[in-house]
Structure 1
Amino acid sequence: MTGRRRAASLGKIEEGTGPARPRATDGAPPDTPEQAHASPPPESSRLRRAGPGVWTACVVLPASVSLWLMSLRDVRLDAMGDLGLLQALPVLFWIALGLLVLGFCVAAAARRTAHSCFALYVLTLIAMIHATPPMVEQELRYSWAWKHVAVVDAMLRHDGEVPNAGGFDIYNQWPGFFQFNALILRATGLESPLGYAMWAQVLANVLMLGPLLVIYRSITTDRRLVWGAVWIYYSCSWVGQDYFAPQAFTFLLCACVIALVVRQLPSSRLPRPGPAGGGWPRGRFVLVIVIEAAIASSHQLTPLMLISALLLLSLPRRNRRVALPALAGAVVLTAAWNATVARRYVSANLDSFVDALTRPEANIWSGLSRLGDAAPSQVMVSWIDRGLSGGVFLLAALALMTRRWTRRTPLLPLVLFPLPLALVNAYGGEMIFRAYMFALPAAAFLIAALLMPQGRRLPARMPVVAVLLAAMLGSLLFGYYSKEAMNRFSAQEVAATRYVTTQTPPGSVIISVTFAAPGLEMHYDRHERAEITQEGLQAKRLLAKDPLTGLEPLLRRAGDKPAYVILNRAQYADVHLNGEMPPGFMSRLETDLARSPDFTPVHRSDDAVVYRFAPPSEGSRG
C-alpha cells in the first residue's frame, strides 16, 4: 500500500469509528501523533454524507423534545405519593424519555454522528431530568436550598460576615460561595438569589459538561466513546448534590482543576501548549491556583477530595511535573485557610476527626444503615440507589480488566481517589455518597469503554446497551424524584413561612417538626428556631407520647415572648417518608393544637397552618 493510500485509510478510520489503533482488539487510543491528531472532516461534510442512522437520530430528537414539553401540561402534583414526582408524571413523559434513549443509541451506533448531534442529545437529557421540576413547580425546591438563600440574604443585609450566626457560623468560615452570589446580586441589582436558584441544578449540570469533555477528550478522540461517557455520567448521577449549595459549586470547580491537570498530563492524546519538557503554561497554572483558592474558601470537604485526587495522579513519575505543582498549591491554600479563617471550626472538630480515623468500617456503614424507620417505598428506593452505585463500580472494574488500554490513562486514580476519605470520616453519614459522586466521571468513561469499544461496529450489541442505559436512567429517576413530596413547596407553604419569619415579634420562638419548610432560616437574627426531630431521644419520646406536654420545654425557650408552631404539607411527607417520628404523630399534634385553648391559629391555608402559643396567664397578650 502506498503512503497516500495508507493516509487515506487512516482518515476513514478516524472519520468513522474514532482514532486509528495499532491493536484493534485492545481498544487503545492512537499511539502516534499522526494517528491521534489526523484532522477529521468538517461536521457539515459529515452530515451531508450521513447514513440512515444519523438521520434517524436527528428526527427522533425533536420528536422526543416535543413529547416532553407536551407532557408537562399534564403533570399532576397532587397525585404525588410515596414515590414523589414519579407518580405525577404522565405516560407521555416516559415515552419521550424512552425515545431519547433510543435515539441516542441509534446515534452511537452510526459511524458518522457529529459532535453537535451528540451534544443536543445530552443537553436534552439534562433538561428532561433537571428542568422538569422547576417547570412544573411554583417555588424553589429543597429546604437546604432555601437555607443557602437565607445565608446569602444575611450576608447582604450585614455587608459580609453573618453576626450572631449560631448555626450559620460555619458559613462565615467558608463564605466563598455565598460571597460570590452576593457579588452577582450587587452587580445585577437583584434582591435575592431565589429567582435563579430554582435553575441551579440545570445550570450546574450544563456547566459540568465542560470539564467532562476536557477529561474525556484528553484520553480519546473517539466521538462515540466521549459522548457515551458523558451520557452515562448524567444517567448515573443520582446523589443530588447539584442544587443551590456550596458543594455543587466546589464540585464543579474541583472537576475543572482535574480536567486542566489531566489535559496537561503526558498521557494526554491532545496537543499541549506549554514548556517543551512538560509542565504548566504560566497562565493555565495561575488559573488552577485561582480555582483552588475558590474551593478552599467555599467548602470543608472538597479541598480534601481535590488533594487526594492530585496525590494519586502524581504517583506515576511521568505525571509529577504537572500534578505536583497543582497538589502543592491545593495543600498550601487549604492549610492556610484552615489555619486562619476556619481555625475555630477545625479546632472544635479536630477530636471527632481523629476519632473517626480509627473506625473506617463505621464511617462507610454510617451512610448505608439508616433505613430502619423509613417508609417501605424509601427502603426500596435506597436499594435501587445502592444497586446503581454498585453496578457502576462493577462495570468500571470489568472495563479495567478487559480494556487494557484504560490502565495507561489517569482513569484508575480518578476512580480510587475518594476512597481514602470515605475510610477516614463519615461526614454525617454522607461520605460514601460523596465518594461515589467524585468517582463517577472516571467510572462513567470506563463503562463507556466497556459498552462502546473503539473501532467496533455496535448495531449487534446496541439492544443490550440500550437496556443498560435505560436501566441506569430509570434508577437515577427513582433516586432523584422519589422524595419530591417533601422537597417541593407550594406558594401557600412559602406564604406561611414568610408570615412566621417576618410578621411575628422579634425574639419569638419558631417551632417546626422537621426542616421541610421553605425559608425557616430567613431573618434568622429575629427569632430562635426549634426543630422537634433534632431534639434528644428522650424529648422525642415524650412528644410522641403526649405532643402538647412534649412541646412545653420548647415553648419555655421563648420566655416572655410568643412562640409559634408551623405545620405544612411537606413536613407531613417528611415524617412519613423518613420515619423520624411515629406514624400519625403529625395528625395528633395538629389535632391537639387545634383543641388547646393555649394555641391560636394565626395563619391557615390548605397546605400550611401557623399556631401562636399564648399561656393562660398572659390571656390574649399580643
Structure 2
Amino acid sequence: MTALLSQEKTRQQEWLAPAVCVLAAAVWALAVRPVDPGTLGSLGLAASISPAVLIGVAMLSVGFVLELRSASPRTWVLAGACMLAVICAYGLQPLVEPSARLPVAWLHAGWSGYIAQHGQILHNFDARFSWPAFFAFVAWLTKASGAPDATVFLAWAPPVFTGLAAIGVHTLASTVLGRGRGAWLAVWLFLIVNWVEQDYFSPQGLAYLMYLAALTIVLRWLCREGLTAASVLGSNRTRLAAAAFIVLLCAMAPEHQVTPFALAGLMVVLAVTRMLRTPWLAVVAVLIPLAWLALGAKEYWIGHLDDLFGGVGDLSGSVQQNVGQRFSGDLGRIAVLTVRCGLSIALLVLAAAGWWRLRKDRPIVLAVLALLPFGLVGLQSYGGEMLLRSYLYALPLLCTLGGAALVTMLDRLPTALLTAAGLGLAAIGLVTARGGNDAYVAFRSDDVKVVQEAYREALPGQHITALAGYLPMQWARVGEVRQLSLELKCPPGPDEAPCVRHLGPEFVIVNPAQDAYGHMLLGLPPGWSRAAVAGLESHGYREKLRIGDTVLLELGGTR
C-alpha cells in the first residue's frame, strides 16, 4: 500500500512542472491585450500591460526550476518551457502592438527590397551596404516565399532569432558544462537577461547565430582537453570542424561589421594561450574579415579612415558615448535603464560565482573568453552602441558560467525556491527592459499609412523627412526619394520651423513617437510636436493628410 501511494505521489510530482508552465501560459494568454503605442509612457510597455502578463512570465521560471529539481529532468518539458519563454517575453510586442517596431528594422526591409528589385546594392549610399549579405539573403527569401516585400518579416524576427540563439547557447553550454542542469540554466539565463534588442530584423541578428555556431565548433572540436567537458575527437572530425568554422567565418565577413572581429579576438586568445589545437585558424579568423573590409567594403573606408581608427584607445570617450550619453532622460527612462544595469550586474555576479566553482576543473582562459568582448569598447565606440554589442557577444559564456553557479542552488528546497523567485523577478525585469523604449520605437498602423501616402505623392529626387528619426520610413523607394531625419540639422523643438523651412524638404511627417522621444529623452514639453506642426504651417507647409495624430505636411502654401 505504501509503495502504491509513493508511486501515485511520484506521478503527481511528474506533472507538477508541466502544469505550472501550462498555467503560466494560460494566465499570460488570457491577459494579453492590444496596446496603443501612442498611450505608452516613459516606463514603456510594462506599465501598459496587465500585471497578469508579468505574473505569467514569472511563473514560467517556477515551472522550469521545478522540472530541473526532479530526479530525471525531461528534455521535452525544459524545451517547452524555453519555447514558452520566447513567445511570452520576445513575442509579446508583435502580439500587442499594431505594427513592427524599431525604425532601423523598416530601413533594413527597404534595403533588402532594393536588392530584390535591382539585383545589386545601392553604391555610395550608406556604409552598411558594404556588408550586404543579410540584405541579399532577405531579398532572396522575399522572392522565394512570394511575400510582397520584406516588411512581413519585421515583427516576428526577434522571437525567431532569439529562439534559434537559445538552441545555440544550449549547445555551447553543453560543450562547456556537459549535458545536464547547468546547460539548461544557461539557456534560461540567456532568455531573461538578453535585453539589448539586437535580435531585431538586422544583419547582426543573423550574424549572431553564426557567431554562436562558430564558437561552439571551436570549443567542442578545435580546443585542447580541459577547457570544456566535451571530448576531443579524431583528426578527421577536427578537419571537418575547421572547414565548417572557415565557412561560417566567410559567411559572417560580408554580413556584419563587428561580429567577425569579436570572434577573431576570442580565437587569438585561444591561440596565444595554446588552447587552440589548430593555431593557424586564429590567423584565418583575423585575415578573412580584414580582407572583406579592405576589398568588399572599400566604399566605406575610403575617406573614412578616421571613423575606423580615430577612436582606437580612446576608452574614456567610448565609455562616455556608450554609458554617459545613454544614461539620460526623465525618471521613467532612468528607471528602465536601472533595470537593464541590474540584470547585467546580476549576470556578471553569477558568472563570477560560476567561475569560482569551476576554477579547479577549467583553466582561467575560460573566464578571459567570457569577458574579452568588453575590450571592443576600447577600440571603437560604434556610435555609442559598442557596449551593447560587447554584452551580447559575452552573453553565451557569461550565461554558461552563471548556469554553473545556479545549478548548486537546486539541491536544497529553500535555495531552489529562492532561485525560482530570482529568475521570475528577472523575467519581469526583462519585459520591462525590452519594452522601455516602446513609447518612441513602437508605431501605429496610422504611421505606416501616412508614410505610404508620402511615397505615393513624392516625385523622384524629392525629400521625405521627419522631425526626429522615430518613424517607419525608408522601407520603399530607396535611392529614388531622399528619406531622412532632420534631427541633426534642426534640433527638435516647438520652434524648429524656420530651420526646417530653410532646408526646404518637400514632405515632413510628424507622429506621436517623435513627440514621445523629444519629451522623454530631450526634456521637451509634452505636445511639442503639435507646436512644431503649427509653426511649419505658418512657414509654407500645408496639411496633406492626417490620420489620428500622425500628419503629413507638404511644402506649397497654407491650408
Q: Same fold (TM over 0.5)?
A: yes
Deviations 1:449-508 (A, max 9, x none): 112229x72323112212321232222222201111222212111000111123222222
Matched with 2:390 is 435
Deviations 1:562-621 (A, max 9, x none): x11111122122222221756653121022234x272221111103111111158xxx9x
Of residues 185, 189, 197, the one that matches 2:146 is 189
Structure 1 residue ranges, 4+ long, deviating more than 6 angstroms after superposition: none
Matched with 2:342 is 387
- Partners in 1 of 2:157 and 2:417 — Cα distance? 34
Deviations 1:496-536 (A, max 9, x none): 0111123222222222111111124521323223422222x
Query: Helix, strand or coil for the counterpart of 1:348?
Result: coil
Instruction: Determine if the alignment matches structure 1 residue 292 to structure 2 residue 246.
Output: no
- Partners in 2 of 1:463 and 1:244 — Cα distance? 37
Q: Do the aligned residues in 2 keep the contact of 1:533 with 1:580 (CA within 8 Å)? A: no
The letter for the 1-side match of 2:99 is: E
Matched with 1:106 is 66
- Partners in 1 of 2:329 and 2:463 — Cα distance? 29
Q: Do the aligned residues in 1 keep the contact of 2:495 with 2:535 (CA within 8 Å)? A: no
What are structure 1's unaligned runs of at least 5 residues? 1-46
Q: Could you tell me how far 1:244 is from its partner in structure 2?
A: 0.2
Query: Helix, strand or coil for the counterpart of 1:366?
Result: helix
Matched with 1:20 is none
Q: Could you tell me how far 1:60 is from its partner in structure 2?
A: 1.0
Q: Could you tell me how far 1:438 is from its partner in structure 2?
A: 0.9
Q: Do the aligned residues in 2 keep the contact of 1:399 with 1:450 (CA within 8 Å)? A: yes
Could you say if the C-alpha distance between residues 475 and 255 of structure 1 is closer, same or farther in structure 2, counting changes exceeding 3 Å? same
- Partners in 2 of 1:296 and 1:521 — Cα distance? 25
Q: For 1:514-529, what aligned pairs fall within 5 Å after superposition? A: 514-520=468-474, 522-529=476-483
Q: Do the aligned residues in 2 keep the contact of 1:367 with 1:431 (CA within 8 Å)? A: yes
Query: Helix, strand or coil for the counterpart of 1:107?
Result: helix
The letter for the 1-side match of 2:424 is: A
Q: Could you tell me how far 1:544 is from its partner in structure 2?
A: 4.1
- Partners in 1 of 2:308 and 2:85 — Cα distance? 39
- Partners in 2 of 1:372 and 1:465 — Cα distance? 30
- Partners in 1 of 2:90 and 2:265 — Cα distance? 30
Is 383-392 or 251-260 further displaced after alignment? 383-392
Q: Could you tell me how far 1:402 is from its partner in structure 2?
A: 4.1
Of residues 494, 499, 513, the one that matches 2:453 is 499
Instruction: Determine if the alignment matches structure 1 residue 178 to structure 2 residue 127.
Output: no
TM-score, normalised by the number of residues in structure 1: 0.83
- Partners in 1 of 2:550 and 2:393 — Cα distance? 38
Q: Could you tell me how far 1:51 is from its partner in structure 2?
A: 6.0
Instruction: Determine if the alignment matches structure 1 residue 575 to structure 2 residue 518.
Output: yes
Matched with 1:487 is 441
Matched with 2:401 is 446
Q: Do the aligned residues in 2 keep the contact of 1:61 with 1:103 (CA within 8 Å)? A: yes
Instruction: Determine if the alignment matches structure 1 residue 470 to structure 2 residue 424.
Output: yes
- Partners in 2 of 1:443 and 1:52 — Cα distance? 35
The letter for the 2-side match of 1:547 is: E
TM-score, normalised by the number of residues in structure 2: 0.92
Deviations 1:333-373 (A, max 9, x none): 11211111112322433224433123112212321112575
The letter for the 2-side match of 1:178 is: F
Q: Do the aligned residues in 2 keep the contact of 1:57 with 1:104 (CA within 8 Å)? A: yes
Matched with 2:551 is 609
- Partners in 1 of 2:165 and 2:358 — Cα distance? 26
Query: Helix, strand or coil for the counterpart of 2:553?
Result: strand
Is 195-204 or 572-581 further displaced after alignment? 572-581
Q: Could you tell me how far 1:148 is from its partner in structure 2?
A: 0.2
Of residues 524, 549, 559, the one that matches 2:498 is 549
Is 373-382 or 174-183 further displaced after alignment? 373-382
The letter for the 1-side match of 2:543 is: P
Matched with 2:272 is 315
Instruction: Determine if the alignment matches structure 1 residue 356 to structure 2 residue 298.
Output: no
- Partners in 2 of 1:150 and 1:545 — Cα distance? 30
Is 211-220 or 398-407 further displaced after alignment? 398-407
Of residues 518, 528, 533, the one that matches 1:585 is 528
Which has more radius of gyration?
1
Is 324-333 or 140-149 further displaced after alignment? 324-333
Of residues 330, 336, 341, the one that matches 1:375 is 330
Could you say if the C-alpha distance between residues 290 and 588 of structure 1 is closer, same or farther in structure 2, counting changes exceeding 3 Å? same
Q: Do the aligned residues in 2 keep the contact of 1:236 with 1:472 (CA within 8 Å)? A: yes
The letter for the 1-side match of 2:459 is: P
Q: Could you tell me how far 1:433 is from its partner in structure 2?
A: 1.6
Q: Do the aligned residues in 2 keep the contact of 1:51 with 1:110 (CA within 8 Å)? A: no
Is 414-423 or 143-152 further displaced after alignment? 414-423
Q: For 1:525-540, what aligned pairs fall within 5 Å after superposition? A: 525-535=479-489, 539-540=490-491
Deviations 1:387-410 (A, max 9, x none): 221222123223323442463386
Is 249-258 or 338-347 further displaced after alignment? 338-347
- Partners in 2 of 1:389 and 1:412 — Cα distance? 16
Could you say if the C-alpha distance between residues 337 and 211 of structure 1 is closer, same or farther in structure 2, counting changes exceeding 3 Å? same
- Partners in 1 of 2:38 and 2:542 — Cα distance? 28
Could you say if the C-alpha distance between residues 74 and 142 of structure 1 is closer, same or farther in structure 2, counting changes exceeding 3 Å? closer
The letter for the 2-side match of 1:321 is: R
Could you say if the C-alpha distance between residues 50 and 415 of structure 1 is closer, same or farther in structure 2, counting changes exceeding 3 Å? farther
Could you say if the C-alpha distance between residues 458 and 219 of structure 1 is closer, same or farther in structure 2, counting changes exceeding 3 Å? farther
Instruction: Determine if the alignment matches structure 1 residue 417 to structure 2 residue 372.
Output: yes
Instruction: Determine if the alignment matches structure 1 residue 118 to structure 2 residue 78.
Output: yes
Matched with 2:202 is 245
Q: For 1:320-335, what aligned pairs fall within 5 Å after superposition? A: 320-322=276-278, 324-335=279-290
Matched residues, percent identical? 23
Matched with 2:220 is 263
Q: Could you tell me how far 1:298 is from its partner in structure 2?
A: 1.1
Could you say if the C-alpha distance between residues 598 and 187 of structure 1 is closer, same or farther in structure 2, counting changes exceeding 3 Å? same
Q: Do the aligned residues in 2 keep the contact of 1:497 with 1:519 (CA within 8 Å)? A: yes
Could you say if the C-alpha distance between residues 360 and 95 of structure 1 is closer, same or farther in structure 2, counting changes exceeding 3 Å? closer
- Partners in 2 of 1:341 and 1:218 — Cα distance? 34
Q: Do the aligned residues in 2 keep the contact of 1:452 with 1:458 (CA within 8 Å)? A: no
Q: Could you tell me how far 1:124 is from its partner in structure 2?
A: 0.7
- Partners in 1 of 2:9 and 2:180 — Cα distance? 17
Is 213-222 or 292-301 further displaced after alignment? 213-222
- Partners in 2 of 1:502 and 1:284 — Cα distance? 51
Matched with 1:97 is 57
Could you say if the C-alpha distance between residues 50 and 218 of structure 1 is closer, same or farther in structure 2, counting changes exceeding 3 Å? farther
Q: Do the aligned residues in 2 keep the contact of 1:357 with 1:425 (CA within 8 Å)? A: yes
Is 402-411 or 289-298 further displaced after alignment? 402-411
- Partners in 2 of 1:139 and 1:187 — Cα distance? 24
- Partners in 2 of 1:336 and 1:137 — Cα distance? 42
Q: Do the aligned residues in 1 keep the contact of 2:451 with 2:473 (CA within 8 Å)? A: yes
* Backbone CA RMSD of aligned residues: 2.5
Q: Do the aligned residues in 2 keep the contact of 1:79 with 1:87 (CA within 8 Å)? A: no
The letter for the 1-side match of 2:534 is: T
The letter for the 2-side match of 1:604 is: R
Instruction: Determine if the alignment matches structure 1 residue 345 to structure 2 residue 300.
Output: yes
- Partners in 2 of 1:196 and 1:521 — Cα distance? 12
- Partners in 2 of 1:372 and 1:261 — Cα distance? 37
Of residues 28, 32, 42, the one that matches 1:68 is 28
Q: Do the aligned residues in 1 keep the contact of 2:36 with 2:97 (CA within 8 Å)? A: no
Query: Helix, strand or coil for the counterpart of 1:565?
Result: strand
- Number of residue pairs the alignment of both structures matches: 550
What are structure 2's unaligned runs of at least 5 residues? 1-6
